[in-house]
Each structure stands twice: as structure tokens, then as C-alpha cells.
Structure 1
Amino acid sequence: MALFHLTVTQTKRSAGQSAVASAAYRSGEKLFSEYYGEYSDYTRKGGVICSDILLPPQAPQEYQDRQTLWNAVEKAERGGNAQLAYSFDIALQNEFSLEENIALARQFLSERFVSRGMICDFAVHQPDREKGGIPNPHFHVLCPIRPLDESGKWGKKQRRVYRLDDDGNRITGKDGKPLFDAVATTDWGDPTTLEEWRKAWCDLCNAKFAEKGLDVRIDHRSYERQGLDLLPTVHEGATVRAMEKKGIRTEKGEFNRWIKATNAVIREVKNRIAALFDWIREAKAELAKPQAPTLVSLLTVYYSQRSAGAYSQKGKTANLKEFNEVFNYLQEHDIFTLDDLEARTAAVSSTVDELKKKLDAQTGRMKEIRQLYEYADTYKSLKPVFDGLQKIKFAKSREKYKAEHAADLRLFYAARRKLTEEFKDGVFDRKKLSAEYSRLEHTHSADYAKFKDIRSELQTLWRVRTNIDTARRFDERTKEQTPQNRPQTRHKKEDISL
């Protein structure tokens, strides 16, 4: 199953992370961190197929050693909240062999990363899977955020661009110091660069699919950007996927299964509608003649011929019953011509679009509520950390406390901000959210049932289409066999003596 996944996060001290520990985990090795004075041992970690370090030309060769490289990164970053590395997680393709996947990963990193002067520490993972599960081959990449200069020394992440007045003089602030903007020295963190990388990985995989003659492709764009009327699922994460593989059903897993079931119905309905429009267009072109037969007359021809060919009374009765059902449907919706059929199909299509918009709004709000639950849990668990800060009166002690609990405080403030945006009075009402979520589930189920009704009606429309095509072919054959169209044959007169 071809799939696209390319995400990037940052490894940073403010989140309690270590570049050495991250590298050890991804490579499945035991590495010592000089900054923290401790080992990170992941030698028992399974699923690591291979790992390697790709260096640009100016990088010191000793950086081929993983422990040397990441300790050098840690040493270059002095700040307690320093951003250490970019961390990429990229899915490989089950349609390719392991050797092909590894070669593709190396090509991608060499052409798109190393060529920009980036160091790439990458590892290919293929975790064990439960019986019947889908393989999940992927590779991780760690790249130092701080660039190397031409001499192989660590350079600057940012440079100062001073603000100038109309005369080209530096503008100073209230403290008398010149004002400046911090500008990144590389484009590695630019959203357009990430977009370029995502597209490049797709292009590389798709070229390989074409080379192997496989009729599958991947796309880095969202459903919305691709113009697909599908509902997006939620990110599950490694923990949820591991639980699901063991047969433990999770909330996120259930939610995604629900979304996927809805998408399957939407996709089927949309395909049927598109096919009907195509057929109507072709049929109208053929039947756009003087005194073109009506749909009912064509269907009468079809069912008459079908009954004539039936071998039993039971078959004739079934044909008559089906004809009545189709006829009643056409009469109920005032469908007598292809124009009427096209108008009805368009009405069904509009209904589908309206239902899709409602489902989008419902699932979007349900995701927000689920996130609010998570924010509330974070707020509750980290409130003691925040309260501890409020009890400290002396500035020096407060700063020390903030530094020690920076990651927790950042999460607490983010959770409080999100909850305050939802609850202006500052009171989190879980009961109210649960009631709203239940209403949304009920409404979603009702709207989903409407999709099933539409699918049933489309089956009737499809039956009309198939039967009319058959009747048209029969009508054309009948015309060809009329006496005026039948070729004349001259017979030689014979004398017969008795």
C-alpha cells in the first residue's frame, strides 16, 4: 500500500531532549553524552535495519563517528533552551525491496540535504509486526540545526540585520541600543524548503513506481489541496499504533476507523455520480434526434425483452416487479427524459456536497473537543508546577525554578491559553463538552445514514442506466433488421417435375 509520510520536528533542550540520546535511539546504539554525563543505551532495540552518517565536503571526517558528532553539537549549543537538531520521520514503500528503499533514502538525502551543507545521521527501521498487520518501513534523519562554515567549524544559526532609517543610519530603541531583526543563516527551517523536500520525496518514489511498472502514486499535498472530498484522520503516533497492533482498540484508532468508513462511502458515492454524468453526456449525444424515445419507453422495451426471454413465470413476475419499482421511482421524481435524469443526478450531487460540508464541520469540532480534553489533563497534571512558581518571591529563585521546569511550564501555559480561548470565564466544563461531543456523534451518524440512502438511490439510477443501454442496443438491432434495411436476395427459379 503506497503511502506518504514526511514530518519534521526539532530536538531541543527546552523539551528535556538530548541530541546524543536521540541519535542512540534511532541507531540502536549505546552513546555517552558529555553534556549530561550519562549513557543512552538502545542496543536491545529491535527493528533497526541499518544506519549511516552522510557528511558534506567541508565536515570533519571524525564526525563519521556518531558519538563524536553529537557531542560536538551539544558542545556548540550553550543555551539551556537550545534547539539542537531537526528530526525527520519518512515512510518508505512496501512496493520496493529493502535494498531499493535504502538506495532511494540515500539518494534523497544526498541530493536534497547534503548538497545544502547539512549533516545527515539516518537510520532505516522496519519494526516487527503482528500477524496480518501492514509493514511500516521508514527512516529517521537527524540533522544539526547549526550549519558548518567552509572551514568545517560550527557557524551561526542567525545573523543580525539592523533596522535603518531613510538616511541609512541604525535605529535605536528606548534603551539606546540599535534595533535589529534576527535572520536565519540557512533556509533549512523555511516552510517553502520543507514543501520542496516533501514534493521531492514524492517525485523520487513516483519515478520508482513508474520504473517498476506499478500503477500507484503518492502525493505530498493534503486532501483539500488535491481537491479530494475526503475527511482527514487524526495522527495516531507510535504508542497508539503499537497498542492497535496488539489488538488493543484505542480512542484514536476507533475515531480513524470511523472516518475511513465514512470516506469509503463518500468515495463510492462520488465515483457513481461522476460515472452517471459521463454516461448521460454520451447518451444525450446519441439520443438527441427528432422524436427521441423517452426513458420509460426504452425501459418498457428492455423489460419486455427480458420477460420474453424468461423461462418461468417466477422470472416474469420478478421482471414485472423490478420494472414497477424503477417506473415508480422515475414517476416519483418526474424523470422522463435524459435531461430530467441529469437534473436528478445533479440534485443528488449537491446533496452529497452539503452533507460533506456538515461532516467536515462535525469531525473538525470533535477533534477540537478531543484536544481540549488533552489540554485539560495537561493543565491539571502541571498545575502544581505552576503553583510552585507562584509561591517563590525572590527573583533569583524564581528564575532558577523556571529554568528547571521550563518544559512543564511551557506546556502548562499552552494548555491554559487553549482552555481560556474556549471558556472565557476560565472554568473548564467537561460535562458541557461531553454533551456536545455526544450530540455531534448522533448528528454524524444521522448524516452518515443519509449517505447510505443516497447510495441506495444511486443503485436505482445505475440500474436505469444499464437497462437503457441494453434497450438502445436492442432498438438499434431491430431497426437494422426491418424489411427496408434488410438486403434483398434474388432466388433462381427452379422447374420441378413431378
Structure 2
Amino acid sequence: MALYHFSIAQIKRSAGQSAIASAAYRAGERLYSSYYGEVSDYTKKGGVIASEIMLPPHAPEIYLDRATLWNAVENCEKHPKAQLAYSFDIAMQNELTLEENMELARKFVQEQFVAKGMIADLAFHSPEKEDGGIPNPHFHVMTTMRPLNPDGTWGQKQRREYLLDEDGNRIRDKNGDYMFNAVHTTDWHEPETLEHWREQWAAAVNTKFEEKGLDVRIDHRSYVRQGLDLIPTVHEGANVRQMEAKGIR
């Protein structure tokens, strides 16, 4: 049966996570973190079909190298509780071929993430079936959280919007400092954006189903929103949940 699974999380230091360790796990590679001075080695991890990095036009080509990209992200973020990357876990469809699934994934990532200025690191997984269950093909995407400036340098996640009085002058607080609101420079964190991404993935898959003449569809809405009295399934395997407990995700 067709399965919808699309989750998003943040990779952040406050949870004991590392962008390098997360990228190494997803790609099944050995990467060195210059920020922590540690090596993350997942070269013996099974189930990794392929991995690749997709860049927006103004991103430096050196970021096609996984270690260079995520070390740059790690070292750009100075705060001990910094948010480092977005992490997406998206189910592929058993009704489609591997090539069709990968083509859909690349097109979706290009249109929804890369075209908006994100750098995207994809990893396609097809782990062995657990306990005789159905195949669980899926893909992971790690995306940058900071926008890139036109010259390829890292931009700001937030900007200051100063409070003004009725005459247009900046307002000071009791300590004499100018008062301001922190405003996000992108809408990538907005709930409406996540809802849009989830909806667009379902639409892309359903279009492919229709093209192939398959009488199946997926729905990005929860069972409750669909008015269905069903228990949601757990898409991830035990190994993935163990890695999450260790802070890899």
C-alpha cells in the first residue's frame, strides 16, 4: 500500500547533535569534524543506495564536498546551542521503481529547497526488511538553515527591526539601548512552509501514480484531519531510532 511519511526536525547542538555526524550517518561515510576534533565513521552502515549534494547557483562549488560543506556550517555557528541544519525524512513508494522514486525526490528537492536558496544533502536508503515486514525505502535530506549571500558567503538567519516612535526615531530602553525585534530572513521555519512542503510532496507522488495508471494515492494530512479513525504507523526502523537516541539525527 502507498505510504505517506514526511518528517522534519532540526539538528542542533543543544540536543548534543553534530551536522558532520548526521551527514556521515546518512551518507554512510567517514567524516572529520574540525569543530569537535572527532571522526564519525559510518562506512560499514548498510542500506545506503546513493548520496549527493545539490547547490543553488550562487553557492561555492567547494560545498559539493560533504565534509567541506558541513564543517563550514559547524564553524559558522558559534553558539553552544546553535541550530545547524534542517533534517527531512521522507518515504519513497514501493509502487514506483527506485529510479522513479529518486527522480521524484531530486525534482522535489530542487523545486522546494534548492530553488529557495538552500543547499541540500540527499541520501537514499533501502534498509533490509525488519521481522519480515514490507520494504522501507526512504530518503533523507539535510538542508542549510542560513541563507547564502549573492557572493556565496553565509548570510544571517535573523535581522534587527528597530522600534520607532511616531516621528520615526529609534526607541531606547531604560538602559539606553535601541529596542528591536528579531525578524527571520527566510520563511523556512514557518509552519505554513512545512505544510506547503508536505502537501507538495504528496501532490508530486500522486501525479506520478496517476501517470502510471495506479489506483493509489497518498495524503499529507493526518488521519485526524482526514476524519479517519486509524492508528498512524511508525515508518522508521529500530536502527534509525537507536541513532536518534545517540544524537545522530
**The TM-score by the shorter chain falls in which range?**
over 0.9
User: Is 1:230 aligned to residue 229 of structure 2?
Assistant: yes
Distance 1:240 1:128, change over 3 A: closer
Q: CA deviation at 1:225?
A: 2.2
Q: CA deviation at 1:233?
A: 3.6
Q: Which runs of 5+ in 2 are unaligned?
A: none
Q: Which residue does the alignment assign to 2:208?
A: 208
Q: Distance in 1 between matches of 2:185 and 2:77?
A: 16
Q: Distance in 2 between matches of 1:7 and 1:74?
A: 23
User: Is 1:160 aligned to residue 160 of structure 2?
Assistant: yes
User: Percentage identity across aligned positions?
Assistant: 61
Q: Which residue does the alignment assign to 1:27?
A: 27
Q: What SS does the corresponding residue of 1:23 show, helix, strand or coil? A: helix
Q: Which residue does the alignment assign to 2:220?
A: 220
Q: Which residue does the alignment assign to 2:75?
A: 75
The residue type paired with residue 238 of structure 1 is G
Distance 1:230 1:216, change over 3 A: same
**Bigger fraction of residues in strand:** 2
Superposed CA deviations along residues 237-257 of structure 1, whole A, max 9, x for unmatched, are 5338989xxxxxxxxxxxxxx
Q: Which residue does the alignment assign to 1:47?
A: 47
The residue type paired with residue 138 of structure 2 is H
Bigger RCO (CA 8 Å, 6+ sep): 2
Contact 2:5 / 2:235 at 8 angstroms: preserved in 1?
A: no
TM-align CA RMSD: 1.9
Q: Distance in 2 between matches of 1:214 and 1:57?
A: 36
Q: Distance in 1 between matches of 2:142 and 2:224?
A: 30
Q: Distance in 2 between matches of 1:235 and 1:165?
A: 53
Superposed CA deviations along residues 73-104 of structure 1, whole A, max 9, x for unmatched, are 11111111111000000011000001110111
TM-score by length of 2: 0.93
Q: Distance in 1 between matches of 2:235 and 2:56?
A: 35
Q: Which residue does the alignment assign to 1:182?
A: 182
Q: Which residue does the alignment assign to 1:94?
A: 94
Q: What SS does the corresponding residue of 2:195 show, helix, strand or coil? A: helix
The total of aligned residue pairs comes to 243
4+ residue runs over 4 A deviation: 234-237, 240-243
Q: What SS does the corresponding residue of 1:121 show, helix, strand or coil? A: strand
TM-score by length of 1: 0.47
The residue type paired with residue 239 of structure 1 is A
Q: Which residue does the alignment assign to 1:239?
A: 238
Q: Distance in 2 between matches of 1:61 and 1:187?
A: 25
Q: Distance in 1 between matches of 2:203 and 2:239?
A: 30
Q: Distance in 2 between matches of 1:83 and 1:55?
A: 20
Q: What are the within-5 Å matches in structure 2 for residues 417-428 of structure 1?
A: none
The residue type paired with residue 64 of structure 2 is Q
Distance 1:242 1:59, change over 3 A: closer
The residue type paired with residue 59 of structure 1 is A
Q: CA deviation at 1:28?
A: 0.1
Q: Distance in 2 between matches of 1:232 and 1:183?
A: 38
Q: Which residue does the alignment assign to 2:197?
A: 197
Q: What SS does the corresponding residue of 1:128 show, helix, strand or coil? A: coil
Superposed CA deviations along residues 86-124 of structure 1, whole A, max 9, x for unmatched, are 000001100000111011100100111110011000100
Q: CA deviation at 1:236?
A: 7.4
Q: What are the within-5 Å matches in structure 2 for residues 404-419 of structure 1?
A: none
Q: What are the within-5 Å matches in structure 2 for residues 48-63 of structure 1?
A: 48-63=48-63
Q: Distance in 1 between matches of 2:233 and 2:50?
A: 30
Q: Which residue does the alignment assign to 1:136?
A: 136
Greater gyration radius: 1
Q: What SS does the corresponding residue of 1:10 show, helix, strand or coil? A: strand
Q: What SS does the corresponding residue of 2:106 show, helix, strand or coil? A: helix
Q: CA deviation at 1:144?
A: 1.3
Q: Distance in 2 between matches of 1:94 and 1:241?
A: 20
Q: Which residue does the alignment assign to 1:107?
A: 107
